[in-house]
Structures are given as structure tokens and as C-alpha cells.
Structure 1
Amino acid sequence: MIRVVVVDDHPVVRAGLTGILDAADDMVVVGVAADGVEAVDVVERERPDVVLMDMRMPRRSGDEATALLRESAPEARVIVLTTYESDDVIVRAIAAGASGYLLKAAPEDELLAGIRAVAAGEVALAPSVARVLVARAGRPVEAPVLTAREVEVLSLVARGLSNREIGVHLHLGEATVKTHLLKTFAKLDVADRTRAVTRAMELGIL
């Protein structure tokens, strides 16, 4: 059974999504939240498999909540579910660690398939979102030179993995992962993980 937390500041949306998910044979909604602050509290308490996260909410945005959850509850995989498909919103969500980005206008079966995919460790992207990311990645730019290992580490950051998870994945110590990231930050002229991924996407490195 896939355990899901629904995060949206509109009660009607929360109720509608809860009804859809609870009607599925393999899903159960274990918690709901009305903003990013509540989202972190509920997810840390309920430890769901998947979080459906709205982007624009009071008190704390969806991307900010997602970034916090990647550290405090890394086993919970986040799908951003929103009406927005602009480049900057998409990049912010992916950079924060979201494993999926779907639109609220998506058909019910697409939503359920996306949840199942993300719960299985895959990525779920709306077709229009995938096109945006491909276009950005293919944009001709002059980018700083990162080593193959630095790109590998940064790509895992973009997938939402914590430093510890990256170390396990690449058979590296957590301190070594941090060293690679610090060197990457310097080359990209940024100060944190989120901006590093965003900048790498802007430059076509990722």
C-alpha cells in the first residue's frame, strides 16, 4: 500500500485528491496539510512514501518544504502537483529535490500512474514539463568545466538525494561528497545545493 500525504492550501483540492487516492486499491492518504510548514510536520510524523505538494502556498512554498524534507525525511518522495508550468517554477521544484512534476489538469489515471512510478523510485514528469527541461538542457551555453564525478554528484542532488544517500549510491564517504559539492559550488559561483542545480540546468550541464 502506497502511503500518501496531500499538501494544498485549498480545502476542495485536498478533499478531491484524498477521494481519488483513497479509491485506488493500492493507495491510502495518511495525512493532509494546508501549507509548507504543516507539510513538514505531517510528513515527519507520518513518514509517507509519496507527498503530493502544491507550489504556491502561505507561510512556506512547496519548493522550500520539499528541500527541507529531502534532509529530514529523505524516504518520502515528493511530486509537485500544481497549475504552474513556467520554466522558473519547474526548475525550482526539481532543484529542491522533487521526484515528479505533474499538473492539476492531468487526467486521474496519469496522476495515479505518476504516484506509482515515484513510489517505485522512478521519475514522473508531465509531458509539457519534460519538454521544458529537455529544451533547457539542450540550450547552447558556455559553462564551467566540472569533472565527471562532480556532474555525477550534482545529478544525484537534482534527483533529490541527500549527501548520505549520494555517498551510498556512489560508494563514497559523506565527507567526500561534501568536498565534491563545495568544489562545484565554487566553479558555478553559488552558495548552496539548490542554486547549484538551478545554475547547472541554466548552463545545460544537467
Structure 2
Amino acid sequence: MMNYVVKVAIADDHPLIRKGIADLITEHSPRFKVVAQAGNGKELMDQLQESEVPDICILDIQMPVLNGYDTISALKGLYPQMKYLILTFSEQEFSMIRMIRNGANGYLLKSCDPEEILTAVSAIHQHGYYYSEMVGENVFYKALHFKKKEDLTSKEVDILSLLCYDLTYEQIAGKLFISLHTLHDHVKAISKKLKIKNRAGLVLFASQTGLIM
């Protein structure tokens, strides 16, 4: 296992960023190998038919032809063991939520320290996940020790499930026929019980506990 080479693919429509990531990874350690570089998801999928199957794909979200959302959805059906690190400019909460729901194993902003990309790739390979402080600490540990019947009410489980979709808080409140103020009180109670600080962390928790599929 110590001699195993971690194979990485990169999809980003900015050639300079793509090359920079590839150089960073390959210069870091001989244990990392870049097997594909593409400018969009369609190009990546075409390349993967001819290349070695990567262990980890580093994906941008906003790409022409086939964006990151659709790329990860398509690839998960073709390569179920492959893992995904999202590297993007987007700080939007819905972007993170949608990627977590689609099965991303990590989410970083392009403004991060380059060393964090290496940390994330290594962590995803070793542990299956890496999320920065944007999501919150110890979410996976909390998910592992979660007992739904003891920790959350059925109402709270319903709210947690709705938080995982591209719905505003106003839309969620409307679906539940409750006021926005009441919804916020429920979300605060859920966050306090689970000790998870934001919506993205709650979505990640829900995906790991099987509350969303």
C-alpha cells in the first residue's frame, strides 16, 4: 500500500490553473500521478476512456459544455469508486450543498493555500473525505455516532432533509406550513443538538447518515 500511486484527473477551463494544479501535485511526491487534464467535463469523460482510471478527480464547477454538477453525476455512474475534490471560486451555499448532495468528497475555494489542495487530495485518498472549516469540524465523526431516534425529532429530520435541496428558507417554511421565524428556531435547535455550525455542514451530515440519498 505504501508504494501505491494515487492517480489524479483535473477538469478546469482555465489552462493556467489546470497546469498549476498538475505541477503542484506531481512535484509534491512521486506517489501522485496526473492521468488526465481537461477543460470541461465532456473532455474529461472522453479522456477517461483512454487513460488510467483516476482515484480522485479535481473538478471546477463552472465549465463550458459540461459543468461540474453534471460531470460528477455522470461519472459516479460510470466509476463508482472514484472520489471528487471540488475546487472552485464559488462561495455560494447552494453550490456547496448541491455538490455535497451529488457526492463530492471535498470542497475547496481557489483562494485556498496551495498546500491545502495537497492536504485535501491526501485526506480524500486515505479517509474518503476532506472538508475545510467552511463546512465545520468533525462532521463525519458526528455522523458516525448519530442515533436518529435519540438525537432528532421526526419534524427535525424532515427539516434537515429539506435543507439538502436548492430551496430557500422561505420556500422550506412554505412547504412545512410554518413561519420563517419558526423554521429558523428549528434549524437553530438542530444545529445546537448536532453541534454543526452551518447549512452546508448539516447537508454533509445528512448525506453521511443516509437521511438523503
In the superposition, the TM-score normalised over structure 1's length comes to 0.63
Following superposition, which runs of at least 4 residues in structure 1 exceed 3 angstroms of deviation?
140-145
Q: 1:77 offset after TM fit, Å? A: 0.7
Of 65, 69, 72, which aligns to 2:71?
A: 65
What residue in structure 2 maps to residue 14 of structure 1?
Answer: 18
Matches within 5 A, 1:100-111: 100-111=106-117
1:78-127 deviations in Å (ceiling 9; x for gaps): 11011112110001111111111111111122110110111124211121
In the alignment, the residues of structure 1 paired with residue 84 and residue 43 of structure 2 have an alpha-carbon distance, to the nearest angstrom, of: 15
Q: Aligned partners of 1:27, 1:69: CA distance in 2, in Å? A: 21
Structure of higher CA gyration radius: 2
Q: Which residue of 2 aligns with 1:181?
A: none
Matched, 1:95 2:87: no
Query: Separation in 2 of the partners of 1:109 and 1:142?
Result: 38
Task: Name the aligned partner's letter for residue 39 of structure 1.
Answer: L
8 Å CA contact retained: 2:83, 2:128: no
Match of 1:40 in 2: 45
Which blocks of at least 5 consecutive residues in structure 2 are unaligned? 144-152, 162-202
Stretches of structure 1 that go unaligned for 5 or more consecutive residues are: 146-150, 152-196
2:125 partner amino acid: A
Partners of 1:12 and 1:104 in 2: CA distance = 13
Contact 1:44–1:72, Cα closer than 8 Å, also in 2: no
Please give the per-residue CA displacement for 1:38-84, whole angstroms capped at 9, x wherever unaligned: 12222344300110000011111101100111110112211101111
1:17, CA displacement in angstroms? 0.8
- The sequence identity of aligned pairs, in percent, is 28
The number of residue pairs the alignment matches comes to 150
Which residue, out of 75, 78, 83, partners 1:77?
Answer: 83
CA contact (8 A) 1:7 1:34 kept: yes
Q: 2:126 aligned with 1:116, yes or no?
A: no
1:1-206 map, 5 Å: 1-25=5-29, 26-46=31-51, 47-130=53-136, 143-144=157-158, 205=211
Q: Tell me the C-alpha RMSD between the 2 structures.
A: 3.2
